[in-house]
Amino acid sequence: MAWLAWGAFAQPVQILELGEPLTPEEQTYVLNGLNWMIQIYEEQGLHPRHDLRARLFSSYPEFSNYQLSHRNFNDGSKPSPTAYYSIGGDELVTWRTRTLKSLFIHEAQHALLRSDFPHPPKWANEGISECFEGFDFTQGDPLFLPQRPRLRKVKRYLTSDFGHQVLSVLDLSDREFNQTATDRGLDSYTRAWALIFYLWSKTGSRGLGELLRGLKQGEPAQDILSRLLPGDLEAELLTFYLQLELPPDRSGPISPPRWPKGNPSPTE
């Protein structure tokens, strides 16, 4: 068990490693991402934690056995094949899967957000994690890329009612969100990602911050979105995703454009 710390900020991010250690390259990626997320949230008036407990297993069977023994599925969720954040155990749990770094960012976002906003709507919490998972933290400044698997799925289902389907995620309870997570077509995770990535692309961290502050104060999500994204949101969602291209596959060379920190816009 060991602590990892990153001293680029006044209050460094710390990770308490409860299982296998991250490699130096994984540490750099993850700590860059954690610092960036914390900075974004603090700039928007939120107060996320600066520490994280992480349990990394070397193999899937070890991870699966631990999950089945320690995780509660009463909320309608199903066992994860890759990673999860345990609220009760206050720990990020994963295994050395091929996408370890991006999964770590995804689950860490849950820990950071919930430390200040304990009960965010499921669509917002998962949509933000999916969005941040797609960003590339290889360098100090992130590349604001769409999540390739989610965008590929969106591209398959860009019918005339696409915008309506995306916005219908706002009406799902947490249990309904979990139950439709594996739907054929536009599952709940894909719809949540599509809405948050669009919001981020149009309004950057400012819009995300206003969304979270409003939700935290009990303001209806539709009212916040109408204020941040005036106009025919359903139609604009369809147009945006019709025009958005898949980013390069990160298994090969990456040379996409960089957008200003906190206010990326791949369409403007």
Q: What is the pLDDT of residues 11-43, one digit of tens each?
A: 678 999 999 999 999 999 999 999 999 999 999
Distances (CA, A) of 50 to 20, 109, 128, 141, 205: 21, 12, 18, 19, 19
Q: Which of 103, 118, 133 is the last residue of a domain?
A: 118
Cα(182)–Cα(198) distance, integer angstroms? 22
In DSSP terms, 83 is beta-bridged to: 94
Domain assignment present for residue 123? The answer is no
Q: Tell me the per-residue pLDDT of 79-92, one tens digit each, with 9 for 90 and over.
A: 999 999 999 999 99
Cα(146)–Cα(241) distance, integer angstroms? 11
Helices 100-114 and 122-134: crossing angle in degrees, nearest 10, is: 140
CB of 95 closer than 8 Å to CB of 62: yes
Domain that holds residue 266: 143-248+256-268
Assess whether 79 and 21 both reside in one domain: yes
If one counts the domains in the chain, the total is 2
CB of 86 closer than 8 Å to CB of 71: yes
Domain assignment present for residue 32? The answer is yes
Assess whether 98 and 187 both reside in one domain: no
Residues with Cβ within 8 Å of residue 228, at least 6 apart in sequence: 199, 202, 203, 207, 210, 211
Q: Tell me the per-residue pLDDT of 236-255, one tens digit each, with 9 for 90 and over.
A: 999 999 999 988 776 543 33
Q: Identify the CATH number of the domain in which residue 55 sits.
A: 3.40.30
Assess whether 147 and 112 both reside in one domain: no
Name the pTM for this structure: 0.88
